[in-house]
Structure 1
């Protein structure tokens, strides 16, 4: 498989911080592959995601998209590559303009990055809504009319509108209930298989990424401490921190019942 996205020694220190938020993080993502990046709050995983898509500039390092360094692009050069690398955020309502209809939100990247006319854009919007499990008539409604899971489907439709080469998902299901999480994960997996984009999936929850990841990278205190095939990371973790994360994943397997002493009632003397 060809490499579509690569991080090379990404490093970022925020002003006033005692240590880097991200320190020399490197990984690759192939076409059709999902790399899950996991870690606790403050581990640097979301800062890494934002550096990948250009929302945060690295102090050092490179972001390669199909071999081209995009980390330091500006202006028109950066805009020309935006269609190939898109992001799905944790809060879909915060990423969708409530003053715009769903159709206008999904059509916006098509307006910016393609030469489709209005009729062709409307046709593409209808196709995308159906692709993510919604109806074409939903295009005329504002995002506030929809549930959290439906809004995330809308955000995904917008992200894939221009057929990106890579998708970065930053905690895309953490605000959803369990059944809706499963639906969104299934949707992302199906879209990845049919369109072939590479995916970086950011999460704090190993039980979630187990359902979607081909490989897993584990971050701690800004560093990537372990990376490998998903099964190997779960079944034979190499780093102590990874072992602690795996041990914390809830299990449905029966546990040995606790041994307790019989309670003896005291008698007043």
Structure 2
């Protein structure tokens, strides 16, 4: 089966009401004819209602950058999957290295979030990836396998049906360094094979994005790789022209 790539913009802690208005209207114009590539944006949660309204009648899906492990109750400051769903969010990023680093989120904690999202009928975008030290020590595959297995061991391999994995080498996020297309492909192929050991059917359909300094200059070559199904884009997703170029590169490469 042909996988439809997903290019998703992670705005991180950026934006304002005015920024949201202008970027989304520019994206809607730039991406009006896109076919063969799914597109999503994940603004800060404060702007979900505004983004939901702006994206009406658009092909661009709405996402969010995180979710908590509780659905409701006395959990000050937390955001539940049910609330995200009510505001039209579909793709929810979990396990981003910034959350793992700054908020000490463990693989097991992230697997819990994965389960809640699946229960709510939302699509988890599970970020995995190794540090520079782990990469240099040859531990990339070991680290990625451990992060994936936390979900498989808890929920079974079928949890990856209709889910997304974003391979983001931590040494490439926001650093301007990107894995070469061949390096990225090797890890993506490993991830797919690792899942295939449990189920080739699940492995064949799971979307595996690349993330880590993806931009309008390097995207096209990354997307020609057989196991790279789109991208999770950081900084470049804040510029309409750059983000549209990345989307169109994915569309073209997979056509």
TM over 0.5, shorter chain: no
Larger RCO, structure (CA 8 Å, separation 6 or more) = 1
Q: TM-score range by the shorter chain?
A: 0.3 to 0.5
Higher alpha-carbon Rg: 1
